[in-house]
Every structure is written in C-alpha cells, then in structure tokens.
Structure 1
Amino acid sequence: MATADPHAATGDVWLPIPPGDIDGLPGGLSYVHWDAGPDYPADPARCVFYAVPYMKRADICLRPLPRMAGVRVVQTLTAGIEHMLPGLSHLPSGAVLSNARGLHDASTAELALTLTLASLRGIPDFVRAQDAGEWRGGFQPALADKSVLIVGYGSIGSAIEDRLTPFECARVIRIARTARDTVRGPVHPLSELTAHLPGADVVVLATPLTDGTRGLVGRDFLARMKDGALLVNVARGPVVDTGALLAELESGRLRAALDVTDPEPLPAGHPLWHAPGVLITPHVGGPSSAFLPRAKRLLREQLTLFAAGEPVRNVVATAPSPLASRSTKP
C-alpha cells in the first residue's frame, strides 16, 4: 500500500463537504471546498488529496484529475469506484484510489431490508389501493421462514445479514468471490453460486461491479431461481441483464426490487417501469441521514493518516509506479 508523502501536505485538500462542517480535521493542511461546481476553488495542480463529490456525474468528478499533477490520494465517498477507474491513468505514479468501504453499510442494508419486506408484503399494491381509496386485503408472503441468498458478502452483505437476523429466516446463504469462514457460518465461493440459487426464496445482490460481475445475473442465473423468488438489487444496475430480467418479470415467474437499474437513470417509457412484480427506487441506498456523519468520520480518519504520513485505508488501486511495485509485499 502506498504511503502518503508528508511533504505533499503543503498542497490543498479538496473536500465535497465544507471543511468547517467537519470537526477534528488535522492541522497543517490547506482545505478547500468543491462539490462539482463549474469553477475550481483553487489550482488543481496544488491538490494533494482529492475527496470526490458524492452522487455527481462521473465526467464531472473526473474533470480535474488531468490537472492534479501532485495528487497523492483520491478518496471516493462510494463503495463502488468504477466511475473513477478511467481517471487512474491521469494520476501521478504511486497515487492511490481509496473507496468508502463501511460508509454505506447501514443505509444500504436498511434499504435492502425495506425493499425485501415491501415486495414480499405487497406494500406497492397497498399504496396504490390507498391512492384509489380502496380497501384491498389479502394473504401475503412473510420474510419469516424464507431462505435468503446474499451475493456479495462484503461489509454491506454482512450488514444486510445483521438486519435479517430478527426476522426468523430459515437460512441465510452467503456468497463472495472467495470462500471463508465467519462467526455466522461459511461464505461460499462465487463458483458455487449456481448450486445455491434454486433453494433461495430471496436473492440479494450486494456485489461490486467488476468485469467478473457485469451481467452476472443473466438468463441462466435467473432460470435457476425458484418460481416466485424475489431478486433484490442494491449493487449496481449492470450486474443484471435487464432484458433477461424483463422476460422473467413479464412471465410472472419472478419478482424484483431494484434500487439500481441498467440503464440508469431509468428513462421514461422504459418497460421496466411497468413490468409486473417490480418495485423500483432511484438509487437511494446510500443517500440518507446516515450518510453525512459517516462521510465526515471517514474523511477525518483518512486525512489524519495522510497528515501523519501514514498509509490511508481502503486502497483499491494504485497508479503505476516502479517504486510502489518494489515496495509492495506479495
């Protein structure tokens, strides 16, 4: 892992949150506020730590990178970093890209549970009935006694299981890229995913978007899901083949609850809006009242390490550097 250069601390730190709103920022650094406005707050060439604006278009977030010749750390406020990867080639050698692992666990897991419960208990239909002034009862499935498969058992996947625990699920099956053991039980490798799909009543997607997960949920994946199963996506839209999902929804065999879609934003008139058995929220897993205090804490902790010349955490990529390659342990 690359170590921040304490001499680089003479430059600027770009923050998407006003510095005065973040208690406990380390001294000795020059802080400026930029949240993707048209004008830069300072010369990008002086930036040494760039905290990327949250929920802004990728092209805007990438725009200053070619001019940030002295940047040492690029810190996203998202767990996914795919929108910033095109800018890696612009970073000076040894600069690091860090994600926001842990920041969105509570909020995203809360929404995953909300989508699951709302879909199973038919809440969208009840809301439509309320709008129409109609009393429509009926028997609805419960989360209790269901088997839930979590695909992508990182910090968000684990937080989702935390919130499932009181609901008396029959079983929680955990899938990640590689196998490991946890205090709750085994995490199965991605290679075993197809074997576990037929037994799951609810499949929750919480995996990052990578070359290996893009289109993971395609025709074969969906065909292996049991009749009447619910697919919940709080990961990224392109993890799911939209055309294949639409075919299953329109047949009535599967249901879906989606916080992310492909394309996104979902355009007006797209058939997914009106497909039977689908609940859609507009990518709101992270943006909640839980975001700001956790974002401030992450930035404070990362900048404290940076100011002290210590390695920052959550590094997911490093700009090519012979020196960094020699100093990285195998």
Structure 2
Amino acid sequence: MAGHLLMTLPFPKPEPLLKAFQGAFPDLKVTFLRHEVKPAEAFVKQDMYIPPEILREATHLMTFGVVPDPTDAPNLRYIHFSVAGTDHVAHKAVFKDPKITITTSTGGPSIALAEWIMGSILGLTRQLFQYKDLQNKRTWGSSAPPPFTLDGKKMGIVGYGSIGRQVARLAQAFSMDVVVYNSRPRLTAEDRKDRNWYQAGSGDPDGTIPSAYFHGQSREDLHKFLSQNLDVLVLALPLTPATKHLIGEEELSILNANSPALLVNVARGPVVYQEALIASLKKGAAGGGLLGAALDVTDPEPLPTESELWGLPNVFITPHISSSTTQTVMRAYKILQDNLVRQLKGEELFNVIKKGSA
C-alpha cells in the first residue's frame, strides 16, 4: 500500500506499534505528530500546527479531532477517528468532501465504557461512594440500606450499538433483564446482528441478549419504552439534532412513574435536558424523581464549578473519561490496521460513516 499515513493523536508516540505498521505496510510512509493536549481536552481543543508539506502529502489520517481543510490536504482520501463519536467535528469540511472516506473506532471503547457503566451502577446501588466517604472520615459506620441488588432488575438501553451490546453482556451476567430502544426497527435476526467492529468475545454479535426491542423516532415511541418499569436507563446513542434534549422533564417523569430509576449517560451531555435532570435528582426517590445518576458527560463540558450537579449526593460525575484505557487506544490502532488490510483487498471497511468516491 503506497501513501502517507499521518497520525495526530493526544498520546505518546507508540514506537513498537509504528514499527509493526511499517512492517505490515512497507510502502506506506507513517508520520506521528503528537497533539499536545490531554485526551479529554481533544474533543474541544482541535487546533494543531501541521507542516504544510506533510498535509499536502498525506493520503491517510488517524486523528482524535484534528481535521485539516481539504484544500490544505489535496491527496487525503481516508480519515480514521480514534474515537467512536464524531459530533465534535461533524461540521468540518472533510465531511462534505466526496473523495474522502471516514471511519471511526466504534467497538474499541465499548469494553471500557461498559465496565465504567456497571461500576458506577454498583457504586450507587450498593452505596459504595457513601462508604468511601465514611472511610475518609475514619468512621466505622453504616449507610442507608442498598436500594437493590441487580439480579432480576430491568435495564433499558437507548442506542443498541457497540457500547449498548457490551453493557447488555455484563448486565446479563448480573441476571438483569435487558430491553433496548433504537431509532430504526430491528425486526429480524439478521437486522439484529452487529455489523461494526467488535473485540472477539465481547458484545452481543447476534443481538440475542435483549428480551425486547423497541424502536421509533417520535416522543410517543420513546415514552412507550420508558414506561417499561425500568430500574436503570443507560443512554449510549449519538448526539444529533434529533437526539438533543431527548430526555427532558416529561421523559424523566414517565421513567420514574412507578419506582425511582437510575440514569446513566455516556452518550453526550446535551442528550439530556440538564435543568430537568437536576430537578429530578433534587426530588430524589422520595419525591418522585430519580434515584440517582452516573454521568460521564455533561452540558457543557467542562462542567462549570457553580453547577448544582457537583453538590448533589445522588450523582456520580467523571470528566468524559469512561473509555480512557490503554486497551481502548490499542483497539483504535487495531481497527485502523484491519481497515488498511481490507482496503488493500478491496473489501468493505469497518465502521464507515462516510464513503468516498475514490
């Protein structure tokens, strides 16, 4: 494979991996330029100096969020994002360039995200965070009884993609009932198969874990799903104009109508109307609101210090790091390598979100 692969990533230069790339693709020139920001900041800090001669020569790009203008990179034909979501750069001109194919690392972060989700749920349901506070105070005390163990409880997942499938796999191991909601119908066994890249032994490749599939694009369809007596609601869907503020006051009221639920958001902050979320959390279980929430994403990011979310006792917040593990990064490289092999063979690439004409 001839060409020039440019990598602009917020990680240290992976020397052994680059040597492996060079061995697998001896005719492919590889240039690694570190984006000198923290990984979590790379979603919003997208400016980076790249020598013009490198941009002009680059045919392939692996990036977190540094995306050149097509006029500055006339030979660019393929972009692979080291993350699963692209809403932070979807407005860039490369997304409209008909010559450029774009893929993502969907499937790479799923294992880490699912572990974060289940760990956060356990931290809230078993009062682990409160016990850590007691430990910090050197107090051998007791907290409130755990609201519930997870066996026999119902988890609803909005967005049954790679992340949702791995969450379902773990939830099944806890003997939970899983139901899912997608915008498009998954009516047949063939429809329910995972077409994206996934780590062997992970996820739900055949889509057989959920006890029920729901779908729709209207509020009525979503409300029907939220009325299924859910104990836990996991949001793992992309942010689009249609999903902004998908969960608001009415949706939270329906979710908590019969019993207080936990809400977990690893999608994007604006998927939830944050003022409604805060109001429901302040009501709490006793007042008809949420039992609690685990948030790896907020609106905005970073979350301002004056936000009420910080001080609520039934909330667990992390700064958009649920997928940040060494293995996640390595899987992003693996997906790119798999796609380069497929490109050489003329096969369909994994995780294509935009197919170029050349």
TM-score range normalised by the length of the shorter chain: 0.7 to 0.9
Alignment of 1:15-54 (within 5 A): 15=7, 16=9, 18=13, 20-22=15-17, 23-24=20-21, 25-37=24-36, 38-40=48-50, 42-53=53-64
| Pair 217,318 (structure 1): closer, same or farther in 2 beyond 3 Å | same
Across the two proteins, how many residue pairs are aligned to each other? 306
For residues 21 and 193 of structure 1, the distance between their equivalents in structure 2, rounded to whole angstroms, comes to: 47
CA contact (8 A) 2:181 2:225 kept: no
Alignment of 1:1-330 (within 5 A): 9-10=2-3, 12-15=4-7, 16=9, 18=13, 20-22=15-17, 23-24=20-21, 25-37=24-36, 38-40=48-50, 42-53=53-64, 58=65, 61-63=66-68, 66-89=71-94, 92-137=97-142, 138-140=144-146, 141-169=148-176, 171-180=177-186, 181=188, 182-184=207-209, 185-191=211-217, 192-198=221-227, 199-226=229-256, 227-252=259-284, 253-254=289-290, 255-308=292-345, 310-318=347-355, 324=357
Task: Kindly state the Cα deviation for residue 176 of structure 1 after the two structures are TM-superposed.
Answer: 1.2
| Pair 86,35 (structure 1): closer, same or farther in 2 beyond 3 Å | farther
Which residue identity does 1:35 align to in structure 2? Answer: R
For residues 264 and 169 of structure 2, the distance between their equivalents in structure 1, rounded to whole angstroms, comes to: 17
CA contact (8 A) 2:70 2:97 kept: no
1:120-175 Cα distance to aligned partner (Å, 9 max, x none)? 11111111111111223241021122111011111110110101112122x21111
Secondary structure (helix, strand or coil) at the match of 1:43 reads: helix
TM-score by length of 2: 0.79
For 2:41, the equivalent position in structure 1 comes to none
- 5+ residue gaps in structure 2? 37-47, 189-206
Question: Per chain length, whose mean CA-contact separation is higher, i.e. which structure has more relative contact order (CA < 8 Å, sep 6+)?
Answer: 1
CA contact (8 A) 2:57 2:75 kept: yes
For residues 65 and 139 of structure 1, the distance between their equivalents in structure 2, rounded to whole angstroms, comes to: 58
Task: Kindly state the Cα deviation for residue 267 of structure 1 after the two structures are TM-superposed.
Answer: 1.9
Task: Kindly state the Cα deviation for residue 296 of structure 1 after the two structures are TM-superposed.
Answer: 2.2
CA contact (8 A) 1:66 1:91 kept: no
CA contact (8 A) 1:202 1:229 kept: yes
What is the percent sequence identity of the aligned residues? 29
Deviates more, 1:224-233 or 1:16-25: 16-25
Which residue identity does 1:168 align to in structure 2? Answer: S
State the Cα RMSD in Å: 2.2
1:166-221 Cα distance to aligned partner (Å, 9 max, x none)? 2122x211111122143234421035331131310110111111122111111111
- 5+ residue gaps in structure 1? 1-5
CA contact (8 A) 1:232 1:257 kept: yes
